[in-house]
Structure 1
């Protein structure tokens, strides 16, 4: 109830007593380059003490929301899940041996599983808030951005420790290369990742339109001799960002192409125009331009494309699509033993042995399941890593989407994981 929610003395005293520590990529890189037993135990105890502080700060932010917002079923599920994890972490005893760390890693994996439900609940909560108009658009955007950003930070810290433990047990004497910035970051091939993301989108669309020629993907590199290049990034985040951009480009191109062919009186089948990705880099950043001839969109829709706040009618349609998606794919199910909702579909992650992700489930959703907030989620992930995502469109022609990503290995001392 409202009184219990706002007068939680345990939470209040905890957040007043402890402060979150800043964590930069430079610290992650320096810590993990050469591992030892003492470093693994130190890392475990940092996670054990840091995560409840960050959860406590986020819970306190939830308490500042209007009660009708926090009383929303999905938002209250997130609060309950965070509070349960907060209590489990603050009561967890100090880790002193590798064997105790092994148990702690299993504990972390279980909590990560529990928190896979956060993103689906957040999506549905945002849509219901749009329908009820219980938060203004700018306040909803601010709330969604802070929840997502803090979620990324906590998961990076937790997954980094899981991965460091796995690396140390596998090869305790290994020394990382000079370009190492953390175990959860991959050296990503720009061309390979683009091709994989585009192929996944194109192959799925081919099952919907088996007799239709799919748009070709053309990748142009501004590197010397058109060469590929690699850069460090979280592979699951990159697949999601590329995937959402390709979903929009391929889908609009096919729909516009079908419309043009239906209006073609001479009976000739017009092949779909290609999706062209131009990529370039300098010492600090990488830029991708995704160009399609999918008919474009009007300026009114484009101005709202990055916002989580939607018109109540559109939000209702998106919510119905999401409920249908959950029902068909079992994306979200209730674990009756502990009362928490869980995402059950396992998908591969990067270097570590933790193998579940909500992002890859979202990117594999049916094309008819329009959620309306996938690009805003994408933009938060891009912004988090000091990047930028912009879209320019000409109605009747097509759309150019510009994705700019900072090179994390050149930004280590600047990029700090959000504290809450």
Structure 2
């Protein structure tokens, strides 16, 4: 309670006095009473469904594109304002933590830029707005590792439920903002290129309207099996496991390809690694099975491996692997992970939780730049982000460990696209 009173009192101090009393504390943490922020934070977010995004983007023209631009322009500062308020409500020991103050400053700056951005009335102004969005997206590439670092270091100061709830709100909101920004950018490109090439009927903005699950599994399998030998496990001479796909192999549904591929990729990556580690002397590794089943309302994917299960003295429940608290997952405070997060947060590449950023790091660039061949260090973000991607539009991700044998992971995604974004205000 004393920390909280300290934090509230310090917010009202003039900046010079705060600097004198708290040297070394970033100016990003000096929380002034901001009427503009309060006004935006008082507004509800206008949540959308996948079906709404597809319907509006299908018959895109200049007028609808301008409306889309102004929706993004006015909606994003509202969503950012809610997260700024979230950070301001944290204990002082947390908001001043390494990484958290960096994220706060990025969000504060983005909020000011968006709320000051003028109304968009022409295609030329929309093109400039898209460039503005790209710059913001690039600037925020360090948010995930910085936030993960800060909250890992803050884990001793927050109860697990509060920490995980905060991280979920932050990461879901981040996903939602990137979806809106990137969707609008792709819609703009489709309008600009319409005269040069006919738009694909399978893609509306960032949404693939006929996404085939089997193809996504095969694509992620190829990526993982084509990795340079020795990246995971000790027996680099043995080929990776085969992935056997069964079930409803022809099922297609409307979804964000990048999200589905990330989930599948991360789950298969974990299965590949666990299987290799469980069978270090095998000449042929046991296969991994991916089963796809569709009902009238859901698409379900089960990934089963023989990687030994989730046997660990630090993990009491499979759901603890989704937690950012060291009380539920002791690996959150290991020196190796904290060092990896610091490396990722200071890298120009940042971390955006996509498959493409991972596979780009496996091979040198054509220029011979070997630095590009360095993969991202293991920072334990894959499962938590997969869970958040799966639940963003009302799906789920569950893990069942058969200790000593293997793990079954069940992913359920809504098929109809009628669920609203899972943003918590």
TM-score by length of 1: 0.81
Instruction: Decide which moves more: 74-83 or 53-62.
Output: 53-62
Aligned to 2:417: 411
Q: Give the drift of 1:344.
A: 5.8
Q: Which consecutive residues of structure 1, in runs of 5 or more, have no partner in the other structure?
A: 262-268, 335-341, 346-356
Aligned to 2:355: 360
Q: Give the drift of 1:249.
A: 0.8
Q: Which consecutive residues of structure 2, in runs of 5 or more, have no partner in the other structure?
A: 1-9, 14-29, 362-373
Please tell me whether residue 316 in structure 1 is matched to residue 333 in structure 2. yes
Contact 2:340 2:378 in 1 (8 A): no
User: Aligned partners of 2:159 and 2:410: how far apart in 1?
Assistant: 28
Aligned to 1:380: 388
Aligned to 2:241: 215
Please tell me whether residue 193 in structure 1 is matched to residue 216 in structure 2. yes
Contact 1:305 1:375 in 2 (8 A): yes
Aligned to 1:287: 300
Q: Indicate the RMSD between aligned Cα atoms, in angstroms.
A: 2.8
Contact 1:2 1:67 in 2 (8 A): no
Q: Relative to 1, partners in 2 of residues 1:13 and 1:388: Cα closer, same or farther, differing over 3 Å?
A: closer
Name the SS of the counterpart of 2:245 in structure 1: strand
Aligned to 2:318: 302
User: Aligned partners of 1:306 and 1:110: how far apart in 2?
Assistant: 30
Aligned to 1:135: 158
Contact 2:70 2:120 in 1 (8 A): yes
Q: Give the drift of 1:205.
A: 6.2
| Aligned mate of 1:162, from 181, 185, 191 | 185
Contact 2:326 2:333 in 1 (8 A): no
TM superposition outliers: structure 1 runs of 4+ over 6 Å = 172-176, 365-368
Contact 1:244 1:363 in 2 (8 A): no
Aligned to 1:371: 379
- With a CA cutoff of 8 Å and minimum separation of 6, indicate the structure with the bigger relative contact order: 1
User: Aligned partners of 1:37 and 1:193: how far apart in 2?
Assistant: 33
Name the SS of the counterpart of 1:371 in structure 2: coil
Q: Relative to 1, partners in 2 of residues 1:106 and 1:272: Cα closer, same or farther, differing over 3 Å?
A: same
Q: Give the drift of 1:326.
A: 6.0
Instruction: Decide which moves more: 287-296 or 304-313.
Output: 304-313
Q: Give the drift of 1:243.
A: 1.5
| Aligned mate of 1:82, from 83, 102, 107 | 107
Q: Give the drift of 1:101.
A: 1.0
Contact 1:33 1:175 in 2 (8 A): no
Q: Give the drift of 1:93.
A: 1.2
Instruction: Decide which moves more: 249-258 or 208-217.
Output: 208-217
Q: Relative to 1, partners in 2 of residues 1:2 and 1:190: Cα closer, same or farther, differing over 3 Å?
A: same
Q: Relative to 1, partners in 2 of residues 1:37 and 1:128: Cα closer, same or farther, differing over 3 Å?
A: same
How many correspondences in the alignment? 378
Name the SS of the counterpart of 1:286 in structure 2: strand
Please tell me whether residue 241 in structure 1 is matched to residue 268 in structure 2. no
Name the SS of the counterpart of 2:136 in structure 1: helix
User: Aligned partners of 1:49 and 1:117: how far apart in 2?
Assistant: 24
Contact 2:221 2:268 in 1 (8 A): yes
TM-score by length of 2: 0.80
